Amino acid sequence: MRYGLVGSSGRMGHEIKEVFSAHELVLEVDESGIFRRGEPNVFVDFSNRSVLATTLQLCSQYGAGLVIGTTALAEEDMKAIKELSNHVPVVQSYNFSTGINILKILLRESASLFEGMDVEIIETHHNKKKDVPSGTAIILKEALGREVPVHSLRIGGVPGDHTIFFANEGEVLQISHHAISRRVFAIGALRAAEFCVSAKNGFYSFEEVLRWTQKR
C-alpha cells in the first residue's frame, strides 16, 4: 500500500507512521508544504478541517481513497467529502477505535431497554482538543436515539475517555471506554486504509470496516 499522510508532523501523524511502517509513505502534508515521493493509492487525514480542501484536491488528483478522522466538520465539509466518495472510496469516522464502535453498536441495539431511565454522557480529552462536545460523544448520543446531556472535560493529555450513565430511582449503570493511547486510532486507520485500497467507490463508516475485517 502506498499512502499519503496529511498532518504528518503532528502527534497522530507520528503514531500513524509507526503503525503503517509495513507500507510505503509516498506523500506528506504538513505546515511547511507538500512533499511527494510517489503516487499514493490512499490518503489518511486526522489533522484539521482547515486543510480539508487540500486533502480532497489531492485525493481527486491521484484517484486515491481517503480515511478521514478529522473532527469538528461542518455540514458543508461533509457534503464535500460525500461528493468525493462518488469517485473514490472514503471511510469517515470521528473515532477509529474498535471499542468505541462496538459500544456504538451495543447502545443502538439496546437503546429501547433504557427507556424511562435518565442518561448522561461525560467525555474527557486532552487540553488541546478544541471541539466540544467530542465527535465521539455525538455519535454515542445518536446511537441512543434521543437527546442526552453531554459534559466535556479538557484536561492534561487524556487521549479520550467516554462514560455513559443510566439511572433510575434505585440503581445506576455506567458503561465506559478508556483509550490508553492515540495508537488505538492509528491501528483503526490502518484497517480502514487496507479496506479502502480494495473497496468500491462510496462513503463508508468504520463500523462497515470492522464488519469487513470479520469476513476476511
The set of catalytic residues is: 125, 129
Spatial CA neighbour of 121 closest among 185, 174, 160, 157: 174
Handedness of CA 198, 200, 203, 206 (dihedral sign): negative
Q: Is 7 annotated among the ligand-binding residues?
A: yes
Q: Is 8 annotated among the ligand-binding residues?
A: yes
Q: Are the C-beta atoms of 140 and 168 separated by less than 8 Å?
A: no
Q: Is 12 annotated among the ligand-binding residues?
A: yes
One-letter amino acid at 134 equals: S
Maximum CA pair distance of the chain? 62
Q: Is 127 annotated among the ligand-binding residues?
A: no
Q: Is 37 annotated among the ligand-binding residues?
A: yes
For 132, how many CA atoms within 13 A lie in the half-sphere containing its CB? 13
Q: Is 70 annotated among the ligand-binding residues?
A: yes
Q: Is 69 annotated among the ligand-binding residues?
A: yes
Q: Are the C-beta atoms of 5 and 16 separated by less than 8 Å?
A: yes
- State the Cα–Cα distance between residues 33 and 4, nearest whole angstrom: 13
Q: Is 9 annotated among the ligand-binding residues?
A: yes
Q: Is 47 annotated among the ligand-binding residues?
A: no
Look up residue 69 and give its three cell numbers: 478522522
Q: Is 65 annotated among the ligand-binding residues?
A: no
Q: Which residues are annotated as a binding site?
A: 7-12, 37, 69-71, 93-96, 126, 135-136
Q: Which residues are annotated as a binding site for NAD(+)?
A: 7-12, 69-71, 93-96
Q: Which residues are annotated as a binding site for NADP(+)?
A: 37
Q: Which residues are annotated as a binding site for (S)-2,3,4,5-tetrahydrodipicolinate?
A: 126, 135-136
